[in-house]
Amino acid sequence: MKLFKSFKSVKTTIIAASLVLSSPLAIADTHFLIPGGPGGGWDTTARGIGEGLVKSGIEGNASFQNMSGGGGGRAIAYLIESGTKKGDILMVNSTPIVLRALSGRIPYSYRDLTPVASMVADYGAFVVRNDSPFKTWEDVIKSIKEDPSSIKVAGGSARGSMDHLVAAQAVKAAGIDGRRLRYIPYDAGGKAKAGLLSGEVNLLSTGLSEALEVANGGQARILAVTSGKPLPDYPEIPTLKSLGYDMEFVNWRGLFAAPNLPAEKLAQYTKKLRELQSTPEWEAVRARNGWLNLFQEKDEFIKSLEAQEAQLKVVMEELGFIRAAR
Amino acid sequence: MFDGIMLGLSTVLDFNNLMYVIAGCLVGTFIGMLPGLGPITAIALMIPITYSIGADSGMILMAGVYYGAIFGGSTSSILINAPGVAGTVASSFDGYPLAKQGHAGKALAIAAYSSFIGGTIGAILLMVAAPLLAKVSLSFQSPDYVVLMFLGLTAIAAFSNKGQFLKAMMMTVFGLMLATVGIDPSSGTDRFTFGQPDLLDGISFLLVAMATFALAEALVNVVKPEKKDAKNINDSDTPQIGSTKLSKAEVKEIAPVIGRSSILGFIVGVLPGAGATIASFMAYATERNLAPKGLKEKFGKGSLRGLAAPESANNAACTGSFVPLLTLGIPGSGTTAIMLGALIAYGIQPGPMLMQENPSVFWAVIVSMYFGNIVLLILNLPLIPYFAKVLAMPKSVLTVMILFFSLIGVYLVSFNTFDLFMMVGFAVVALILRLLSFPMAPLLLGFILGDMIERNFRRSMMISDGSLSFLWDRPLTLSIFIISILVLLFPLKDYLMQRREDKANA
């Protein structure tokens, strides 16, 4: 019996291997295009959605294709070029598609695609070490106002990327010029956390899910989160809004299809994804990954994309990453 | 602690878990052996399986795959000069020359023994000192990483003897230059991307390593076949593998090297900003500096010490990287980041409380490491002659296979055809440089370390408000800095003494 079990796990290995290496030509009901490599955030999102769809019986089969390069630009170009010719492709993406289009790094924007739906969300969070003298977000703001160089903000990505822009917006909501913020870039979220705990920086700007990884371990405290409303799972974390700062930021993850997607096809996708929301299989995937649901169908999704684009444009212009249009 | 070990033992000795240790090691070794596929790919493949089994078993499986892949990674470095993982680059410095000289069997055996001992010493240190070392790992700040990596860069000296100094330096600078391509992290602007979006994320390590090491080597074999190889083709029934047995003198020679490198490797591995790559380079550089005079020159040309040092260090460092992962929830590498994700998915919170809250996971992982290392040794030693048979293949077949596997390896990671073109371009440049007898190792060293040095250096500058004082402000930074200066000046002393002798003789 036990032997059989381990045999089964070998079989699963083979299935998993073939899933990862499956080609776009494989016969599948839904094909997910992942703009980054295996193991990353986009990868887990696409595979999680696929798993939910298949396990709940909504979809017969799901296949996945990784295509990294150009900060996601290559996958977007592929989706636009191949259109609907290559069958049903859903590409996963998130806030960077808006950000990188604004900075001109990718020559496309979400407008060149058909936004299908947003699926999950993460929020910005601000973290300090447990023994930090800053007890609340107000303490941080007060300190920056007295001496802008007193706060060094760590983030897991380059200047001008999400962690930096979110922090800049947050201090701006308190009337501080975002350019005066001292942002210290790290190579990855994990290294930024190590930087915070080592004491070389005193504030960490990161996503809520990563923030919880250190905060739940008891070595750091989350001072504020950028969600619009207090989070049902973590009501004790104050939102910037609840503290009286008019700022909110959502890092959504959603799905896009080719630009010429027929309306009936879109309706099909939307129906399936809507159905997925209430299934226990999706709930399992969501809980396992610590995602927060943010299901928005096409029109609502486009509206929030537009809002985010406007919001990011302002802050990027202020920080000098893009030139203000006259 | 004794209770913990017993708890770990009872978990690991469960039949299923034992199977997972073996399966993990097996899968890891074979995936790691393929040039291009490293631990990160291996672990990503395991994720769907780990969700269907318990936390203990899942972590045991993933850990097995991780160190199995590092174990297996050295095989391709040694046999075909194709380091698929940054951590095994240093293993090819001396491992590949050894294989070329007809000692492939011995080289693989040394790699296996060194990895085994490195892994085991690492596991012991992890067991006795994890909470303590967690504090040490947090005392390292960006300036310390700068000087630490600077120390690693001194390994280049191994390739700069005999009039090669200028060439080695030129290649280092070339490597440093390649590292600057992509988005500049400190200002957020693009550097040397030529408007090409595919260059935005920089050039991947794997691509450079495969192009300059594996591909260039295969091409050199085509352009400039060695006479010995011609004989090999006619005589392929008796391949030049050599014995896997080590003589007593050889064991005596490498035993202290393995011991030192394991401890050094573990400590460097504990630091979240360093990891297996830095560990292997530092061990290599250290051993070269410690080697007695006659043996120092052998480094880079098939030194047993030069192979044993990085091999024990990278395995010990892998084990070391579990310290920040389990006790702080901080992943030091992409691979451990995936494992952290898996832990969280199990509802296990890594951190100082892990040992109290989920002792079975903590101890099961550690105890499984002992078993895993034994499994790897048992698995690998008898297989060495078969692996080494790769070299017995006719060059006309082997060369094509190397070309195929290195290109596939790079493509499977990025799924981007642009990378393939870039890779071929690099390989051609590397081929020309090789024919002009430029060493490739400094290029890769500069490329890997240059990027990390730059990031840490500029971060340090930003934190210290543009002042260089961070180099001497903290005792830790200052001591490592002084050590690296001494290491740099060390050869100068030999040189001056030599000159004085020459003068006296004249």
Using CB atoms within 10 Å of the CB of residue B428, give its burial: 0 to 12 exposed, 13 to 18 middle, 19+ buried.
middle
At A71, the amino acid letter reads G
pLDDT at residue B242 is higher than 80: no
Closest by CA to B221, choosing from B394, B405, B423, is: B394
| Domains, chain A, with CATH or none | 13-121+251-318 (3.40.190.150), 123-225 (3.40.190.10)
Query: In B278-313, which positions are buried (b, 16+ CB within 10 angstroms) versus exposed (e)?
Result: bbbbbbbbbbbbebeeebbebbbbbbbbbbbbbbbb
Least confident of A172-181, B28-37, B228-237: B228-237
**pLDDT tens figures, B170-213:** 998 999 999 999 888 888 788 898 878 788 888 988 889 889 98
Q: Do A107 and B419 touch (CB under 8 A)?
A: no
Mean pLDDT of A155-179: 90
d(CA A117, CA A257): 10
Closest by CA to A305, choosing from A151, A148, A98, is: A98
> What is the bridge-based pairing of β-strands A114-129 and A292-297?
antiparallel
pLDDT at A189: 82
Mean pLDDT of A130-150: 92
d(CA B315, CA B88): 10
Residue numbers of A between 26 and 85 with CB closer than 8 Å to B: 37-39, 43-44, 47, 65-71, 73-74
Q: Do A16 and B141 touch (CB under 8 A)?
A: no
The confidence band for B233, taking pLDDT boundaries of 50, 70 and 90, is: very low
Q: Do A39 and B40 touch (CB under 8 A)?
A: yes
Structure tokens at A131: 């023994």
With pLDDT > 90 as the criterion, what percentage of chain B qualifies?
Answer: 18
d(CA B285, CA B152): 7
pLDDT at residue A325 is higher than 70: no
**pLDDT tens figures, B447-502:** 988 888 898 999 999 998 888 888 888 888 998 888 888 877 776 776 677 777 77
Least confident of A203-217, B239-253, B391-405: B239-253
**pLDDT tens figures, B249-264:** 888 888 999 999 999 9
Q: Across the interface, which of A20, A70, A214 has its CB nearest the CB of B197?
A: A70
d(CA B114, CA B71): 10
Closest by CA to B208, choosing from B471, B497, B448, B455, is: B448
The confidence band for A136, taking pLDDT boundaries of 50, 70 and 90, is: very high
Furthest CA-CA distance within chain A: 73
DSSP category for residue A239: B
Q: Quote the mean pLDDT of chain B.
A: 84
Least confident of A140-154, B230-244, B283-297, B402-416: B230-244
Mean pLDDT of B408-422: 84
At B342, the amino acid letter reads A
Name the minimum distance, in Å, from the CA of A300 to any CA of chain B. 30
With pLDDT > 70 as the criterion, what percentage of chain A qualifies?
Answer: 90
- Please report, for chain B, the start and end positions of each structural domain, with discontinuous segments joined by +: 2-140+245-408
Q: Angle A189-198/A208-215 helices, nearest 10 degrees? A: 40
Structure tokens at A132: 């930090």
With pLDDT > 90 as the criterion, what percentage of chain A qualifies?
Answer: 46
pLDDT at A39: 67
Residue numbers of B between 19 and 78 with CB closer than 8 Å to A: 19-20, 23, 27, 40-41, 43-49, 51-53
Q: Do B329 and A20 touch (CB under 8 A)?
A: no
pLDDT at B163: 65
CA angle, corner A321, sides to A315 and A325, nearest 5? 75
d(CA B324, CA A195): 13
Structure tokens at B271: 């630091």
The confidence band for A304, taking pLDDT boundaries of 50, 70 and 90, is: very high
**pLDDT tens figures, A231-269:** 888 889 999 999 999 999 999 999 999 998 888 889 999
Q: Which residue has the higher pLDDT, B77 or A6?
A: B77
CB of A91 closer than 8 Å to CB of A113:
yes
Dihedral of alpha carbons B15, B16, B21, B24, sign:
positive
pLDDT at B161: 64
pLDDT at B227: 58
**pLDDT tens figures, B69-126:** 888 888 888 988 888 778 888 899 999 999 888 888 899 999 999 999 999 999 999 8
SS3 category, A184 = strand
**pLDDT tens figures, A111-128:** 999 999 999 998 999 999
pLDDT at residue A305 is higher than 70: yes
Name A99's Cβ contacts closer than 8 Å, sequence gap at least 6: A161, A162, A165, A312, A316
SS3 category, B53 = coil
Contacts of A164 in chain B (CB under 8 A): 188
pLDDT at residue A1 is higher than 70: no
Name B389's Cβ contacts closer than 8 Å, sequence gap at least 6: B239, B241
> What pTM was estimated for this model as a whole?
0.82
**pLDDT tens figures, B320-361:** 999 888 888 888 777 888 888 888 778 787 877 787 778 888
Query: In A64-76, which positions are buried (b, 16+ CB within 10 angstroms) versus exposed (e)?
Result: bbbbbbbbbbbbb
> What is the bridge-based pairing of β-strands B182-183 and B190-191?
antiparallel
Name the minimum distance, in Å, from the CA of B228 to any CA of chain A. 39
Structure tokens at B101: 């000289």
Closest by CA to A222, choosing from A247, A196, A248, A198, is: A196
pLDDT at B238: 44
Structure tokens at B33: 């052996």
